[in-house]
């Protein structure tokens, strides 16, 4: 008995990089991630993030693949149609044929590896969903990019230019120190809090992948709310206070400067967007409000300082004005 059905398959046209097969299988202590265009070893207390041997060639390929705006955009995907015949001899697959007009940016794709993360000892749980996940997302925060394990999917445009999405610079040789202090702080927290903070770092690096200010604002306020909830769980902030007060409470807790008028605007934009689908009293995606654009930027810069404070850093960057347009030094 023979029958026919149609099977749809979507594939991505993804360029290959030199040395793609390089490296050893992962263990409970190692994982490869990317894409970080920094050819340096970042040693921290408990482990190291080391560049792959052929990273210079990979960096050159990454620069060629990235857009001049500092982002890597999704590759093209295509839909194929394939006839399948069910016969007495088994299933037979016919030739694939591309569906005309089906090309589009891929919804999901993978980033090539650039570094290997290695811990001195096996971590308590699955590496990628515990310590390894935190370190990768922390490195994304530190470098102002977006990172992921090499065989996990990402979406949207991906910032790959170092410092693209942050307002701070880190002196050469200081990244390992920053990672060590943050990792030590993180390990002392309950598992629930550790998971939340890893997710907050992930969402923080995902925010710049959105192109509209109101979209970035939505994600960044989500991050702020999570930071506040973390503060409550750790006894650093009171529960049950109104959203406007939460902005003051978190800034005061970590010594982050406050500007009442700018915080008022962030609060007003949040209320309009979350409760009435309004952005700057208009339709999201239409019109232009320079004040709202800067408010979205300010919310992100404030979050970056709150994240640093929460992770145990008490430095000039944390105490600097987040509404300033100057890039600060993170020591």
pTM for the full model?
Answer: 0.89
Percent of the chain at pLDDT exceeding 90 = 82
What is the pLDDT of the chain when averaged over all its residues? 91
For the residues of 251-319, what is the DSSP string, one character each? HHHHT----HHHHHHHHHHHHHHHHH--BTTB-TTSS--HHHHHHHHHHHHHHHHHHHHHTT--STTTT
Task: List pLDDT tens digits, range 89-131.
Answer: 888 888 899 999 999 999 999 999 999 999 999 887 789 999 9
Task: List pLDDT tens digits, range 176-232.
Answer: 999 999 999 999 999 999 999 999 999 999 999 999 999 999 999 999 999 999 999
In the chain, at which residue ranges do the beta strands (DSSP E only) sit?
3-12, 30-34, 42-44, 47-51, 71-72, 76-87, 90-98, 104-105, 109-110, 115-119, 148-149, 153-154, 158-159, 168-170, 328-330
Instruction: Say if residue 193 is exposed, middle or buried (CB neighbours under 10 Å; 0-12, 13-18, 19+).
Output: middle
> At 323, is the secondary structure helix, strand, or coil?
coil
- Per the CB < 8 A criterion, the answer to whether 57 and 18 are in contact is yes
Answer yes or no: is pLDDT of 21 > 90: no
Selection from 46, 62, 176, 66 nearest residue 114 by Cα: 62
Answer yes or no: is pLDDT of 20 > 70: no
Q: How far apart are CA 108 and CA 115, in angstroms?
A: 21
């Amino acid at each position: 008995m023979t029958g026919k059905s149609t099977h749809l398959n979507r594939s991505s046209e993804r360029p290959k990089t030199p040395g793609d097969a390089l490296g050893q299988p992962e263990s409970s202590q190692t994982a490869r991630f990317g894409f970080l265009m920094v050819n340096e070893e970042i040693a921290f207390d408990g482990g190291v993030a080391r560049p792959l041997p052929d990273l210079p060639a990979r960096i050159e390929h990454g620069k060629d693949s990235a857009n001049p705006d500092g982002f890597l955009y999704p590759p093209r995907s295509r839909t194929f149609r394939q006839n399948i015949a069910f016969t007495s001899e088994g299933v037979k697959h016919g030739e694939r044929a591309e569906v005309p007009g089906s090309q589009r940016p891929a919804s999901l794709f993978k980033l090539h590896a650039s570094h290997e993360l290695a811990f001195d000892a096996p971590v308590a749980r699955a590496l990628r969903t515990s310590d390894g996940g935190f370190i990768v997302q922390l490195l994304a925060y530190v470098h102002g990019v977006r990172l992921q394990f090499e065989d996990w999917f990402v979406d949207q445009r991906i910032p790959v230019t170092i410092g693209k999405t942050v307002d701070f610079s880190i002196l050469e040789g200081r990244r390992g120190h920053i990672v060590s202090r943050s990792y030590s702080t993180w390990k002392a927290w309950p598992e629930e809090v550790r998971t939340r903070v890893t997710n907050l770092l992930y969402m923080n690096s995902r925010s710049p992948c959105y192109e509209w200010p109101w979209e970035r604002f939505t994600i960044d306020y989500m991050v702020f709310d999570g930071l506040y909830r973390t503060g409550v769980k750790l006894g650093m902030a009171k529960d049950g206070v109104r959203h406007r007060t939460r902005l003051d409470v978190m800034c005061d807790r970590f010594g982050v400067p406050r500007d009442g008028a700018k915080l008022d605007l962030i609060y007003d934009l949040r209320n309009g967007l979350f409760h009435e689908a309004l952005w700057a009293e208009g339709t999201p995606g239409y019109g232009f409000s320079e004040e709202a654009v800067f408010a979205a930027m300010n919310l992100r810069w404030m979050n970056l300082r709150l994240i640093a404070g929460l992770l145990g850093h008490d430095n000039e960057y944390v105490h600097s004005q987040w509404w300033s347009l100057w890039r600060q030094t993170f020591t």
